[in-house]
Structure 1
């Protein structure tokens, strides 16, 4: 028996020249929006919410249909969607900043300050929901926790920051793990494995209370809004959330994917689902390695890399992507295991990942290859140059729909 999956996918809106357009409110209010499209942090962002699905094939068909509808609506308003974060070609206007009782923006501004909040709202990502298996939630969480690296090393579309700076492979995850949440580690950084789901509940309650304490000292209005809008289970930017109120059994929400073209998105979903379903169906022991840089996914036992190794994976993935041997070797070990856990109709979705392992180029590398081909060089790109990046992502997006 396999897991049930679903997704939330964030897109930015651009004009014909590649610059951000802040017309998401009009698109969301269009009568053709059947509830598939919801607001995000800025007025240049839209999130697509999929229906639940039993296979990657089914999920892909559902998402593709929603994208086509979004494309049709956007035409009426002079913009088009792209699976990308902000690269510096325009700026998304912050939504709902005047009312902290109804919107999270003013609350985040009080928590982080202007500079970090500007960084936080600039990135677009994807969340994958995987149904919880009653009685196995601790093993599920730890298994998905061990796959953290895969979510961004294979999907990174942010080699260029919202300021146009190009220096690392994944600015989005670097921003969350090392910049914005440096003073709020519990709310955004990778935490150790758990021994029971009770630890997650306690961790969630603690992170919620920590932020309430900060806001109470600063601003009573945003503290009131915080209590209204935030609950322990939806507080912070943790890499994985346990969402007990979604679906018949609840879900685990994996939150560290960069937004990307549909072919890449479905490929990584297939990788996750294959690993997860095979491990759960085999019902074999899942242990955590004691030595660093040790792991093994086998039929009779799974040995997960320890927490220190996960942190090493994180640093290597952020900085170097698949150019890191450590990153590449781990994914190469997992790919056959994942393929064995998928039904025939889903195995084909792994093809882009097999190609990536051969070329050692992930989507972020391909973006940088494109920029160099245009003759763009240096540590920082201009808005005119990153507008071309947006148009490149538009072409990748359209190609993935065919």
Structure 2
């Protein structure tokens, strides 16, 4: 099963203030711009193995970091900017339409930096993959990297709190976790129904139909944590924060390995979660929502969530969420700037360590004479 990553990073200057990513974007073709001017996205190609993905993430991050330094910039691996009074945005037609429909709440989306994981669809098991990945959703707590939104400690996992609870106003289904499905036809019907409502609202607010249709399609107009991407033949998980690469790669490997079980085991909804030789049992959606709320509000410090993740195949002791390193009720703008630089430095040091490990791994063994 191939897997790939999309990693969003804040860009700051040498003082820790948010700064336009444009100087870095202009020098590296493979980077993607985001609606927030102070953010860029690093995207990998599909990789067959986790070591291959680790090598690609390391190479792409190393290039981005080097170019950023030359431009007086740094990449920051935090799920929110911690505290920023305003965030400059570049609204193309697509973003402008979203803002027109969703109103002021949509501004909160520009304060979220995440990780998107793509895993190959398994032919004939797509529904099981969707349901299993839905059941794994609370694992975003394993890599939570910020508890702060606009300077206030709002939740152990601030980004999913902001994204799912505050961004979509009268259209919460656009950004919340969707229930399990029984068939792909049911999934497609949900997508079409949600998209049609979104389009109707856009036209009712004066958006030109041709302009809307140029920039939106059913597959790319739903921002729920889990999506079936027919364009790429992948299942996409959009829930985790951006974080330090070692933790993100560990999560990608764990999720890939658990999703691979859908190839030869039946995924069933039961009273208890667990894995046997023939089945993967996942909790009811109502019970799952309880774990999701626990993940957002308390993170992996919540013992019931920790036990659930262990049952599903994760080892929480493998993870050290950055979010757990913050324990104050608020953070000032000056403190936020200092913290951004601190974690930018940690990112740079970790990428160099990963590069050194890979270099040593490629060195040929010395042959005896």
* 1:288 equivalenced with 2:275 (yes/no): no
Matches within 5 A, 1:157-172: 157-161=145-149, 163-172=150-159
Report the 3-state secondary structure (helix = DSSP H, G, I; strand = E; otherwise coil) of the residue aligned with 2:148.
coil
* Cα displacement (A) at 1:4: 0.6
**CA distance in 1 between partners of 2:67 and 2:52 (Å):** 23
Selected match of 2:111 from 122, 126, 136: 122
**CA distance in 2 between partners of 1:224 and 1:364 (Å):** 43
Report the 3-state secondary structure (helix = DSSP H, G, I; strand = E; otherwise coil) of the residue aligned with 1:11.
strand
Question: Where does structure 1 differ by over 4 angstroms across 4 or more consecutive aligned residues?
Answer: none
5+ residue gaps, structure 2: 354-369
* Cα displacement (A) at 1:355: 4.1
Selected match of 1:70 from 24, 41, 64: 64
CA contact (8 A) 1:74 1:80 kept: yes
Report the 3-state secondary structure (helix = DSSP H, G, I; strand = E; otherwise coil) of the residue aligned with 1:211.
helix
**CA distance in 2 between partners of 1:321 and 1:170 (Å):** 6
**CA distance in 2 between partners of 1:198 and 1:363 (Å):** 40
**CA distance in 1 between partners of 2:347 and 2:185 (Å):** 41
**CA distance in 2 between partners of 1:52 and 1:6 (Å):** 5
Q: Provide the alpha-carbon RMSD of the alignment.
A: 1.7
**CA distance in 1 between partners of 2:229 and 2:114 (Å):** 18
Report the 3-state secondary structure (helix = DSSP H, G, I; strand = E; otherwise coil) of the residue aligned with 1:127.
strand
CA contact (8 A) 1:21 1:92 kept: no
**CA distance in 1 between partners of 2:18 and 2:237 (Å):** 27
**CA distance in 2 between partners of 1:21 and 1:90 (Å):** 13
* Cα displacement (A) at 1:90: 6.2
Report the 3-state secondary structure (helix = DSSP H, G, I; strand = E; otherwise coil) of the residue aligned with 2:235.
strand
Task: List per-residue Cα deviations over 1:91-130 (Å, max 9, x = no partner).
Answer: 43111x3x52xxx22112112212x122111110010000
Q: Which residue of 1 aligns with 2:45?
A: 51
CA contact (8 A) 2:106 2:168 kept: no
Q: Which residue of 2 aligns with 1:346?
A: none
CA contact (8 A) 2:81 2:336 kept: no
Task: List per-residue Cα deviations over 1:162-202 (Å, max 9, x = no partner).
Answer: x1111311121112222223521321111210011111211
Selected match of 2:307 from 319, 329, 332: 329
Matches within 5 A, 1:179-328: 179-221=166-208, 224-246=210-232, 250-277=233-260, 279-281=261-263, 283-289=264-270, 291=271, 294-328=272-306
- The aligned length equals 351
CA contact (8 A) 1:94 1:105 kept: no
Report the 3-state secondary structure (helix = DSSP H, G, I; strand = E; otherwise coil) of the residue aligned with 2:310.
helix
TM normalised by structure 1 equals 0.83
Report the 3-state secondary structure (helix = DSSP H, G, I; strand = E; otherwise coil) of the residue aligned with 1:10.
strand
Report the 3-state secondary structure (helix = DSSP H, G, I; strand = E; otherwise coil) of the residue aligned with 2:239.
strand
5+ residue gaps, structure 1: 339-349, 370-376
